[in-house]
Structure 1
Amino acid sequence: MSRNMYRSYESHVRLYLRPHLATVRRDRLRVGHLDAMFEASVERNEQIAEYRASGDPRKIEAVKWQRPVGPTSLHRIKETLRAILRPAVDQGLRRRPGSATTGSSTTCSSLSPMAVHCTRPTSRTG
């Protein structure tokens, strides 16, 4: 994995994935959790724009160094999440029903850019 890819994955995990998904067990992760995470990002974008337009120096200062998350960044965050979870999904698909599920109780706080090893996110959706 290149240094830039690692830095990108690490920032996505640190800034977006871990704060929203850290308390969710991987085997309990559902689309609703992801929808809430992305909705929170959109709401934060709206708050940043509102604070900047308010003219209130305190509000402007509160978002001084914060940037809105654009559509391209949201897509890249999805790709990072996909790359991190793909091995877990593949592993779950290879298990037989009723077999031991070691590691299934791991929470998403254990998300790590190193978990993706050298896999690159694909441009496929789904």
Structure 2
Amino acid sequence: MPGLLHKYQNRALLLVKGGCAVNCRYCFRRHFPYEDNKGNKANWQKAIEYIKNNPKLDEIIFSGGDPLMAKDDELDWLITQLEAIPHIKRLRIHSRLPVVIPARITHRLCQRLQQSRLQNIMVLAYQSCK
């Protein structure tokens, strides 16, 4: 399935965007074939259908690249699609953008996450230079 990794029974990872604002030394997707897993509506729709048809899934992880490279409109669309799937309970967003570009966390994005019926979990990776 392009752009969707389903390794665990109850959760799947959706590759929202391939781009990233950071060049992390520890990135384990440095050589990932993003060209074959484009973050676009066509691939997202296929992933949403897969998620709908797998009722054991209860958690979706937005990853990438960095999922917050997506525009607020794109994230809103994805969240709306996931909210329409009754068995999805949680949304995890894995991002470094709040650390390196704090302005990316817009009021609109915060409101959208706050209004969601999904439990939202933001996972922020930061690196200390000690």
Alignment TM-score > 0.5, same fold: no
Structure with greater strand percent: 2
Which structure has the greater CA radius of gyration?
Answer: 1
Larger RCO (CA within 8 A; separation ≥ 6): 1
Normalized per residue, the structure richer in helix is 1
